[in-house]
Amino acid sequence: MANPLQLVSLNPEVEAAASQFCAMTRRSYVRHIDLDDRDRVALGYILGLLRQVKGSMASLSRAVEIVLWKVNMTVYKNWQDGKTESWHDSWKPLSHQGSVSFNKGTKEHDMGNYPYTTAMTLCAMMDSRAREQLDWLALWYPSLNIEAHELTDHAISMRGDLVEICLAAFHAHDFFKAELQTHQLVSLIDLSTMLKNLCKLVHDLNAYFDTGYVNYKDEYVRKLSWGKHALPSFVRLWREFPKQAALLTALFKHPV
């Protein structure tokens, strides 16, 4: 089992990998390396999605904070009223109402708890207020603690539930609608798209760097090759799941 501290560790290795990745994607560099045309197209697609997600992270993380705050306040009120329901009884049903749709909304997909865990951890790393709410929630449900708790399958599942709860909230679920409309300048439709794109980014990076399979398209893709050059350290570290959120946090510090 991976060390959970790696989930939020911006160590020198991670910082250097992000810097190297940015350098290797600059046009002046790409023009002079031996890349297959298909790799150039894939790399261009990845960079476009990275820029799109990076530009939305401030608004998205703020909205995630509001959702987590609502969950926290509800748990606290239930505790005051003497109610101590388990996560499975109180929040799991709500997570089932959150999904990601593609192909003009005709297909719904569960992108998977591993990409969802990366997405939730990234939001907490990008916004101190979202991190604070997640830490408060972890006082009630220790498996949500992204630093101190063992990274078990159950912990990953719960973090996946949180992303699905956010997806439900951004689809105008009545439980969250008032708070989001009051405290957000971004429309719920836009927030839904932002979270969808973040999950898509993590999933697509997994496909192009590791698995070769895109779940929401139900198709295989050519894994990104770097020609005759050595595998970038970013890609090598990306394949170590716990480091993904830290890698994206470091990457978003650079122009992409």
DSSP H or E run through 108 = strand 107-109
**pLDDT tens by residue, 25-83:** 775 455 556 667 777 788 888 889 999 999 999 999 999 999 999 999 999 998 888 88
Provide the pLDDT for residue 127. Answer: 93
**pLDDT tens by residue, 85-124:** 789 888 999 998 887 766 544 566 677 899 999 999 999 9
Summary count for the chain: helices (H), strands (E): 12, 4
In this prediction the pTM is 0.89
Determine, yes or no, domain membership for 73: yes
**pLDDT tens by residue, 165-191:** 999 999 989 999 999 988 877 899 999
Instruction: Round to whole Å and give the CA distance between 60 and 195.
Output: 7
Task: For helices 113-126 and 244-251, give the axis angle rounded to 10 degrees.
Answer: 40
Range of the domain at 131: 4-251
Q: Enter the tokens of residue 42.
A: 């894939």
**Given a cut of 80, is residue 6 above it in pLDDT?**
no
Instruction: Round to whole Å and give the CA distance between 96 and 167.
Output: 10
Determine, yes or no, domain membership for 152: yes
Amino acid code (one letter) for 86: S
- Residue 108 pairs in a beta bridge with 101
Determine, yes or no, domain membership for 190: yes
Determine, yes or no, domain membership for 230: yes
Provide the pLDDT for residue 256. Answer: 78
Q: How many domains does the chain have?
A: 1
Determine, yes or no, domain membership for 256: no
**Cα–Cα distances in angstroms (integers) from residue 65 to residues 71, 123, 188, in the given order:** 10, 9, 14
Report yes or no: 98 and 165 within 8 Å, Cβ to Cβ: yes
HEC sequence for 35-54: CCHHHHHHHHHHHHHHHHHH
